[in-house]
Amino acid sequence: MTDSVKKWYVVRAIGGQENKVKTYIENEIARLGMTDYVDRVLVPSEKVIQVRNGKKINKERVYFPGYVMIEANLSGELPHIIKSIPGVIGFLGEVKGGDPVPMRKSEINRMLGKVDELSVQNDNVAIPFTVGETVKVIDGPFNGFDGTIEKINEEKRKLEVMVKIFGRKTPLELSYMQVEKIS
């Protein structure tokens, strides 16, 4: 089968279950031996960093909630198989219950460009601190102490902060999330 027949389609899924639907589709296609018809199943998502109780939590947020993109040749029983998967509402189309409508080339490029952009975006986070800056420790056993940044380790994303404890300077290795700037 040639790849030229494969087009991108949008599958409507129950909100919040996009990744589960993606897994179900991939497993069902593999089980039925129809991997020649489906190239990719994609849930565009972005990495979001949230701070809860002073802890940094990496989460993935779905970029198009309720939608799963699929690159496939929808022929024969394939559309019915995908529609019967749990969590799938149906295909995005012009007519309710009609044939699935493939995405336009411009939409595909924009979507795939966005996915690439979001995967690269997380890597180059700027360092919000400078050596010699005074910071306040906001997490851990030295919570409330003030200190001066001595070193910045970009790879580990850690700071070496010199804190005065009982009149003695003590070096601490802290993550960026454990300190805040004193303004």
Question: Do 92 and 44 sit in the same domain of this protein?
Answer: yes
Give, in order, the Cα–Cα distances in Å from 121 to each of 20, 47, 61, 176.
Answer: 25, 9, 14, 19
Note whether 9 and 52 are same-domain residues. Answer: yes
DSSP for residue 156: T
- In the predicted model, is pLDDT for residue 175 greater than 70? yes
Which range of residues forms the domain containing residue 15?
3-121
Structural tokens at position 24? 């179900």
Beta strands, E only, the chain: 7-13, 38-42, 45-52, 55-62, 67-72, 88-91, 134-137, 146-153, 158-165, 168-175, 179-181
Q: CB–CB of 136/144 below 8 Å? A: yes
In a domain, 31, yes or no: yes
SS3 assignment for 16-50:
CCHHHHHHHHHHHHHHCCCCCCEEEEECCEEEEEE
Q: Please state the domain count of the chain.
A: 2
167 token code pair: 């009149």
Higher pLDDT, 169 or 156: 169
For residue 47, give the CATH number of its domain: 3.30.70.940
Report yes or no on 144 lying in a domain.
yes
Give per-residue pLDDT as tens, 111-167.
777 666 665 555 445 667 889 999 999 988 889 999 999 998 887 788 999 999 888
The answer to whether residue 128 is domain-embedded is: no
Distance CA 62, CA 60 (A): 6
The reported pLDDT for the residue numbered 2 is 46
Judgement on whether residues 18 and 83 belong to the same structural domain of the protein: yes
Q: What is the pLDDT of residue 25?
A: 93
Token pair belonging to 183: 């303004």
Q: Are residues 82 and 26 in the same domain?
A: yes
One domain for residues 159 and 79: no
Question: For residue 3, what pLDDT is reported?
Answer: 46
* 126 inside domain: no
31 and 90 share a domain? Answer: yes
Q: pLDDT tens, 25-77?
A: 999 999 999 888 998 999 988 777 777 776 777 888 888 889 999 999 988 88
Pair 19, 59 in one domain: yes
The pTM of the full predicted model, rounded to 2 decimals, is: 0.57
84 lies in some domain:
yes
16 located within any domain = yes
Tell me, what CATH number does 173's domain have? 2.30.30.30
Q: Which of 121, 144, 166 is the last residue of a domain?
A: 121
Q: Cα separation of 178 and 53, whole Å?
A: 11
State whether 74 and 117 are in the same domain. yes
- Shared domain for 174 and 114, answered yes or no, is no
Q: Are residues 19 and 109 in the same domain?
A: yes
Give the model's confidence band at 1: pLDDT under 50 very low, under 70 low, under 90 confident, else very high. Answer: very low
Residues 167 and 105 in one domain: no
pLDDT score at 139: 86
